[in-house]
Structure 1
Amino acid sequence: MTRSELIAELVAANPHLQGRDVELIVSTVFDEISGALARGERVELRGFGAFTVKKRDARTGRNPRTGESVSVEEKVVPFFKAGKELRERINLGGQSRARRPARPSAARLTLLPD
């Protein structure tokens, strides 16, 4: 899914929001995650996963075309670790959601009539 597809789906799912507002929201979220990672901070989205940065030490690599040894400098790379709920949802695969065991969640709220 591309960024524009994400925005289009969010607009379709939330008709009360304007497209430019959804685009601003998505851009702001991505910018904040990128900024935090650039500062070396960890970003955790409960139920989704955690973004961190990892340091890769300098090493000697090989040019795949020529086989020549090449020095690769030390660098910092982004790393994502999927959360438990995301892994469970992905592993659910083609199964029906009805088969999934019910689990209480703080995000769910059921309103009962008086």
Structure 2
Amino acid sequence: MNKQELIDAIASQTGQSKAQTGETLDTALDVIRKNVAKGGSVQVIGFGSFSSGKRAARIGRNPKTGEEIKIPAAKTVKFTAGKAFKDAVNEKK
């Protein structure tokens, strides 16, 4: 499912227009993005939580040449699924 298909599905379930639904989804994603970028976290009970993490600098290898390269430290984005989400995914049919 891509973003447009998600907007279509939400709009059909809520009765809102696709334009309104698209704006709401864009705003929600923007709020999550900004909060996590500042180092915060966003928890949606029953769904999961978004947060940031740190990856240390390390030495890697160029697979083509075998040459060692320095990989700089970086911030990462983490998503941890909530219990209800995990249970829904693992539900026996």
CA distance in 2, matches of 1:64, 1:43: 37
Post-superposition CA distance 1:15-50 (Å, at most 9, x none):
2x1111000000000000000011000110100111
The structure carrying a bigger strand percent of its residues is 2
Read off the aligned partner of 1:13 and give its amino acid letter. Answer: Q
How many equivalent residue pairs? 93
Secondary structure in 1 matching 2:60: strand
Letter in 1 for 2:25: V
User: What is the match of residue 5 of structure 1?
Assistant: 5
Q: What CA distance in whole angstroms lies between the structure 1 residues aligned with 2:3 and 2:32?
A: 15
Distance 2:89 2:76 in 1: 25
1:61 aligns with 2:60: yes
Deviations 1:46-85 (A, max 9, x none): 0011111110000001112221111000000001111100
- Secondary structure at the aligned position of 1:40 is classed as coil
4+ residue runs over 6 A deviation:
none
| Structure with more of its chain in helix, by fraction | 2
Residue 81 of structure 1 pairs with residue 77 of structure 2 = no
- The alignment partner of 2:46 has SS state of coil
Question: Which structure would you say has the larger RCO, counting Cα contacts within 8 Å and 6 or more residues apart?
Answer: 2
Residue type at the aligned position of 1:83: G
TM-score by length of 1: 0.78
Task: Give the whole-Å Cα distance in 2 for the aligned partners of 1:68 and 1:24.
Answer: 47
**SS in structure 1 opposite 2:63?**
coil
Q: Is the radius of gyration larger for structure 1 or structure 2? A: 1
Instruction: Calculate percent identity across the aligned residue pairs.
Output: 32
Unmatched 5+ stretches in structure 1: 96-114
